[in-house]
Chain A
């Protein structure tokens, strides 16, 4: 029978496969068929094993393998969203960051005189009353009556109080009267709660303008803090009423602040700096802000190739109450970032050369679903009030400002204005300070929900700074240096500059290695599937085909068998009922049972196909030849197959 080995194989197949899935008469037959013919290992062992113990063992093993697969695959799925970190270092030309430089003192004190003289007078009086401090010996101590005549707005608005902690009475600076404190006491410094013996605590009281009984007392362990905080409150009130253009004029110009500038071995001047008005620090100047479209870059590291500036800090023109330290503040940031100088600035000492070495690191996190960060901030329900790219700090500040406008009706001075709002001042919003303090308290205690709404930015740039200080100018070079710098400053200044008015600043890249820390998805779909495949293959040598098989056998086929049996049962029952009434009919039930009477050619053609008859595509055989062949079937099974084909 070498004629058709392929057909022989098919025949053999058919013999070994007496029943196919849905044709199996019973479920157990189906299971047996499945176990014998499935591609997964283990199941076959159950069927072919002899002996009950062995079979049980195989059942257990197979089940545990299935369990293991499920467990491991679940683990794989659960760890799908994990990220791996990669750090790359690239040596390249680096973009120089924006460097924002501010004088610590925001406005020239001499220019601010007309706005602040009242407040300063009051502050000096307070100092005199509480601490017996008077600036000039010539000043005559004024009596309490004098104060009233000057019309101290400031004390009426927010009275400074000396508090005796335990009796909860306070001496009012303004009236000199003792009064009972109502409302809650907020300690700015919590330590004083423990130290019982410090009975003279200074603070100020903020009251709700609409409801006078609603008051909050803020106390400080030290008068330095109290006076400064009190001064700042009033100062912000005053500044809020001054338009921006005036404020810019009151502050330092680029010529005032910058004496010399040197970048990347070349001279630079004020044109390289962009003015930026900061509400608390006045005019700040940003080097390399990218405003004119170009961002400078450095192609050599080292101090001589960075930014070198000499700053002129006019210490004599400082506001004595607002700022108590001298120098400049700088911040290194990206061109798109808002410089939060008050939060993360670095202070620069005068009469010294501050050398700041930078090391650049760029980081990128994966956003959802790997971590809870935001790419652009567009998905955060807080409006970005700053005209800069999103950062957590911007979000928090904007969120607070928003809450401030919503609940107090005006905007806080230190942050930008939302559309349609204006800065608080107590002429228009007499209540704002109380409101602000209450809100700030809430903000710090995370009750405003800002901390929950705001998310980190996914990518950020960081310049790690190494700051060191040297004496500058050195004793021997001081003389000529100051002379030449005075000349630089312009001959207007007849006096020679003092070295404590100068600060030398060097900002440079330590090296041009950019570190890029990025998160990458540890898994991709391909890898996940590979791992699945590995697990399935390891425990059971299974594949998707097996899964389809299982679906096929356990769901479709089993269901069809069950349904068929139900159908047959129903039919039987129906027949039983019919038989009771009508005579039995058999024609439908056994269509292949042809022995009863020989059908003619035509009837044979009409007959439905026998159950394991020829495949539908083969033509129906001639009836007579079929019968004839049937006689040979016993001897020549192969030819039978041939005939059927």
Chain B
């Protein structure tokens, strides 16, 4: 009893609450809350009460439903993009120029001599298949060691089901000749293939088929020359490539003259020596603040086509690429050609995409969170998806084949593949290269960068130099380069390039979060306000009421437990039990039949003194209120 009083007082102190029963509490809440619906429930007539009750319930559920939608929307991290186009002073892109041919043939001839003789002999046999001519007449015997490492074979496909494989330098060469001679009349059925074996002489071989002999020869030559050149140290390879002063004949940036010294040399495995203008590695990147060819970069290059390696690269021209400062030029992917004997004008539009990182999109800012070791970091360049893919490939190559491919940078402590040390490398490489699984692994592990910059180029070409100006231009350029009065240049080697910003030089698409936390809050508030006129305070109010009702529950439970105890006590020590008439009198109130029903739930909270009979109705009216009266009035 004391405890309950204490609790009641404690409850009072704690909550200063509005009532002792759920009903009082609810009524008080409805009357005083700031949300709009509940007030109506208690203020209106019975029918409207019902309507308002359901309306309030409906609105409340609507609010919760829509909140769910809003929170879901927020968690999907949508972005909106804004586009801006215009001209501004921008960093001029880094311009990489290379020759399509990696090395001067005159310099590498001593290395490739054997190979060239082999292929010439082979071609001779394939194309003019009459035995006993040409190739045998060559004075030094052919070095078949190279050939046997990766041989070219002819596949006779007259019989579709069991093709006959013919080695070009093998003993049955005469048979080849006859067959080919027969092929003159029928349709051509021969195919050239590259035979790749996991070990020399082993049976584990595949034939890489080619529909065209030209393609087969090129592939074969690339494989062989790769193996030979990978043994040459880097400084030697650089020496064999095109030198800046030979290649870059004239340079003009805006109104300022520049020369080959303004270019940074980089060794590119595909194209030998490449030269990068405005790379921004050593000095600040140049800005360009004017559109138009007059303010761009003008270059005159010489690619000296006579010095091309005949079997390695069949296309002649300069390879160039525009890219961002401090990024590695991946010419095979993004590079374009410039044709000899022409003037190529390139108008540049910088197409930028600035994206938000995690969680808005799955991109990487600097590549540090990508699980692939970036091998291109040895060039001190920034992360790019191409660098990642190539590094990924090279890592796989080292893992599986035990050596690195010549076209990609080497991880530490690994050497490049060559035929002597790794006889099966070509087989290993070509199976790895065509493996879909390996590619998928790399695609999955690499992430694109958040800031994607592309240089959109408008390319136009014209013949250069013109017939009329040809003579003096060649004369001057030859004089300047070689200090000779003889013309050392010709149409087949000379290229003019103009690279400049277009009138609109940037198109930037930048992302911003579509749903911020502020947006979420205001939308939540809007919803709550729209349906119920509520705010955060209303939620707090509601929480308060829940705490209050918890208190009431606690009190009720305690009192119920007490009552139970007392009843048990009463059962043990039965006092004079109330007579039937007394009980009946206590519970029936004549003329108020309806309350008889209501009296039953009140019975739980039994009056504190078990001995005293329940009060009579009339006496109740004047009785001072006490905690026990709840049960009766109900």
Give A contacts to B, CB under 8 Å: 1-6, 9-10, 13, 17, 20, 37, 39, 84-93, 259-262, 265-269, 299-304, 308, 310, 352-353, 355, 357, 359, 464, 466-477, 479-481, 483-485, 487-488, 490-492, 504, 510-513, 515, 520, 524, 526-527, 529-534, 536-537, 541-546, 548-549, 615-619, 622, 625, 639, 642
17 A-B residue contacts at CB 8 Å?
Answer: A5-B19, A6-B23, A85-B83, A260-B214, A267-B215, A299-B436, A303-B333, A352-B339, A353-B314, A468-B338, A468-B344, A470-B338, A473-B314, A477-B314, A529-B527, A534-B530, A548-B55
In the bound complex, do residue B533 and residue A266 qualify as a contact, i.e. CB atoms below 8 Å apart?
no
Chain B residues with CB under 8 A of A304 = 332
Cα-based distance from A551 to B349 in the complex (angstroms):
60
B59 within 8 A of A: yes
Chain A residues with CB under 8 A of B300 = none
From 188 to 229 in chain B, residues with beta carbon under 8 angstroms from any chain A beta carbon are 188, 208-215, 217
**Given A17-B43, A472-B316, A487 contacting B530 (CB threshold 8 A):** no
B140 within 8 A of A: no
In the bound complex, do residue B215 and residue A260 qualify as a contact, i.e. CB atoms below 8 Å apart?
yes
In the bound complex, do residue A543 and residue B211 qualify as a contact, i.e. CB atoms below 8 Å apart?
no
Chain A residues with CB under 8 A of B531 = 529, 533, 543-545
Cα-based distance from A618 to B591 in the complex (angstroms):
12
Chain B residues with CB under 8 A of A4 = 24, 633
B486 within 8 A of A: no
Chain A residues with CB under 8 A of B363 = 89
Q: Which residue of A lies closest to B527 (CB)?
A: A530
In the bound complex, do residue B36 and residue A353 qualify as a contact, i.e. CB atoms below 8 Å apart?
no
Cα-based distance from A93 to B443 in the complex (angstroms):
7
In the bound complex, do residue A301 and residue B127 qualify as a contact, i.e. CB atoms below 8 Å apart?
no
Q: Which residue of A lies closest to B623 (CB)?
A: A3
Chain B residues with CB under 8 A of A89 = 353, 355, 361, 363, 448, 452
B600 within 8 A of A: no
In the bound complex, do residue A266 and residue B434 qualify as a contact, i.e. CB atoms below 8 Å apart?
yes
8 Å CB contact of B440 from A93, A479, A545, A617: A93
Chain A residues with CB under 8 A of B341 = 471
Chain A residues with CB under 8 A of B404 = none
Chain B residues with CB under 8 A of A93 = 439-440, 443
In the bound complex, do residue A10 and residue B27 qualify as a contact, i.e. CB atoms below 8 Å apart?
yes
Nearest-CB distance from B106 to chain A (Å)?
11
Nearest-CB distance from B185 to chain A (Å)?
9
In the bound complex, do residue A91 and residue B526 qualify as a contact, i.e. CB atoms below 8 Å apart?
no
Chain B residues with CB under 8 A of A357 = 333-334, 336
In the bound complex, do residue B621 and residue A527 qualify as a contact, i.e. CB atoms below 8 Å apart?
no
8 Å CB contact of B46 from A310, A468, A524, A617: A617
Residue-by-residue, is B477-500 near A (CB-CB < 8 Å gives 1, otherwise 0)? 000000000000000100000000
Q: Which residue of A lies closest to B38 (CB)?
A: A545
8 Å CB contact of A470 from B316, B454, B535, B630: B316
Nearest-CB distance from B405 to chain A (Å)?
13
Chain B residues with CB under 8 A of A484 = 123, 126-127, 212-214, 217
In the bound complex, do residue A302 and residue B70 qualify as a contact, i.e. CB atoms below 8 Å apart?
no
Nearest-CB distance from A169 to chain B (Å)?
43
Cα-based distance from A122 to B523 in the complex (angstroms):
78
In the bound complex, do residue B529 and residue A534 qualify as a contact, i.e. CB atoms below 8 Å apart?
yes
**Given A20-B43, A475-B305, A617-B46, A91 contacting B448 (CB threshold 8 A):** yes
Chain B residues with CB under 8 A of A533 = 525-531
Nearest-CB distance from B376 to chain A (Å)?
15
Residue-by-residue, is B439-459 near A (CB-CB < 8 Å gives 1, otherwise 0)? 110010011100010101101
Chain B residues with CB under 8 A of A615 = 46
**Given A536-B530, A543-B531, A91 contacting B315 (CB threshold 8 A):** no
8 Å CB contact of B439 from A300, A476, A616: A300
8 Å CB contact of B389 from A265, A300, A524, A549: A300
Cα-based distance from A590 to B595 in the complex (angstroms):
31
Chain A residues with CB under 8 A of B73 = 524, 526
8 Å CB contact of A3 from B336, B592, B629: B629
Chain A residues with CB under 8 A of B309 = 476
Q: Which residue of A lies closest to B126 (CB)?
A: A487
In the bound complex, do residue A530 and residue B316 qualify as a contact, i.e. CB atoms below 8 Å apart?
no
Cα-based distance from A268 to B594 in the complex (angstroms):
95
Binding stretch for chain A, among B74-82, B251-259, B277-285, B464-472: B74-82
B532 within 8 A of A: yes
Nearest-CB distance from A255 to chain B (Å)?
9
8 Å CB contact of A481 from B214, B454, B461: B214
**Given A3-B633, A622-B591, A480 contacting B123 (CB threshold 8 A):** yes
In the bound complex, do residue B31 and residue A13 qualify as a contact, i.e. CB atoms below 8 Å apart?
yes
Chain A residues with CB under 8 A of B134 = none
Chain B residues with CB under 8 A of A473 = 314-316
Besides A20-B44, A37-B43, A619-B594, 8 more A-B contacts (Cβ < 8 Å) are A6-B23, A91-B443, A468-B336, A470-B337, A488-B214, A537-B526, A548-B55, A617-B46
Chain B residues with CB under 8 A of A91 = 385, 443, 446-448
Cα-based distance from A20 to B52 in the complex (angstroms):
15
B371 within 8 A of A: no
In the bound complex, do residue B20 and residue A5 qualify as a contact, i.e. CB atoms below 8 Å apart?
yes
From 375 to 397 in chain B, residues with beta carbon under 8 angstroms from any chain A beta carbon are 385-386, 389
Q: Which residue of B lies closest to A260 (CB)?
A: B212
Q: Which residue of A lies closest to B622 (CB)?
A: A639
**Given A310-B212, A513-B452, A6 contacting B511 (CB threshold 8 A):** no
Nearest-CB distance from A370 to chain B (Å)?
15
8 Å CB contact of B306 from A6, A475, A479: A475
In the bound complex, do residue A526 and residue B70 qualify as a contact, i.e. CB atoms below 8 Å apart?
yes
8 Å CB contact of B385 from A310, A470, A513: A513
Nearest-CB distance from B630 to chain A (Å)?
8
Q: Which residue of B lies closest to A17 (CB)?
A: B43
Chain A residues with CB under 8 A of B616 = none
B310 within 8 A of A: yes
Q: Which residue of B lies closest to A467 (CB)?
A: B459
In the bound complex, do residue B530 and residue A544 qualify as a contact, i.e. CB atoms below 8 Å apart?
yes
Residue-by-residue, is B569-597 near A (CB-CB < 8 Å gives 1, otherwise 0)? 00000000000000000000001111000
